[in-house]
Amino acid sequence: MAKRDYVAEIASRRGRIRRRTPRYTEMNTRLGGISAIAAFVRESSNKDVPFRSEIAKYIPIGTVACLEGYFRLVFRDLIDHGAPFRDNVSKFKEIKIGIDHVVALQSKRVTFGEFVAHLLPASNLSDLNDSMSILIGAPYLDAVKRVSVEYFEVGKEVSLEEDGIADDVFRDVVQLFEQRHIFVHELATKAKVTVRRIAIDYAAATILMMGTEALVANLLAPAT
């Protein structure tokens, strides 16, 4: 089996996004399109749109792509910010750096953050929690559920913990990843796709990314 060229993979992935666009804005560009698809599915009927259920299966696929892509940008930005996040990378025992990678980093073909973010797993909520917890040096899910965000009403910040929905949000994100896996890897012709279930899981992913963005902004804010 040929050796993977991580630097080429990173360069290819980088070329498919806008380099200077903030991570949340970049993610939200695609998420907005998925939201439009969700609205179409919600407002149509199987009678009028026979392929409605098939379109609905794309929503968890696209939403997980937003989650994974967004979190890889978070990993990158935390590490490239410097200490303490860069120092915590040494705790990822599964990441191995070869001479060719050192050369690429020295030549600034890729940043250290891009390299590590490319290698970290992001296939489920457990992966995201493990990686974020190591990088920030604290339990990520505990931290994100305590951060206050304007989740539901402009001008009214609330935390998931205060609102009593943290466990529900995390559970629904887990299910979203499971749905995505099924619809990508299986025929799943008997799988039931309900508009309500999709809306709940889509909302949970959006909430998780909103909370994460606020958390990361706090972590990267200059000390006063």
pTM: 0.94
| Number of independent structural domains in the chain | 1
In a domain, 129, yes or no: yes
Range of weakest confidence among 21-30, 65-74, 214-223 = 214-223
In a domain, 80, yes or no: yes
Instruction: Give residue 1's pLDDT.
Output: 58
In a domain, 1, yes or no: no
Model confidence over 171-186: pLDDT tens digits?
A: 999 999 999 999 999 9
Domain that holds residue 32: 6-220
In a domain, 14, yes or no: yes
Q: How far apart are CA 1 and CA 201, in angstroms?
A: 38
Q: 159, 148 in Cβ contact below 8 A?
A: yes
Q: 148, 115 in Cβ contact below 8 A?
A: no
Q: 79, 85 in Cβ contact below 8 A?
A: yes
- Which residues, listed in sequence order, are joined to residue 149 by a DSSP beta bridge? 158
In a domain, 111, yes or no: yes
In a domain, 148, yes or no: yes
Question: Which ranges in 82-194 belong to alpha helices (H)?
Answer: 85-88, 99-106, 112-119, 125-136, 140-146, 160-163, 166-185
CB 139: neighbour CB atoms within 10 A? 12
Q: Which residue has the higher pLDDT, 108 or 27?
A: 27
Give, for 158, the enclosing helix (H) or strand (E).
Answer: strand 156-158
37, two tokens: 């698809």
User: What one-letter code names the amino acid at 176?
Assistant: L
DSSP, collapsed to helix, strand or coil, labels residue 20 as coil
Dihedral sign, Cα of residue 152, residue 157, residue 162, residue 168: positive
Model confidence over 117-172: pLDDT tens digits?
A: 999 999 999 999 999 999 999 999 999 999 999 999 999 999 999 999 999 999 99
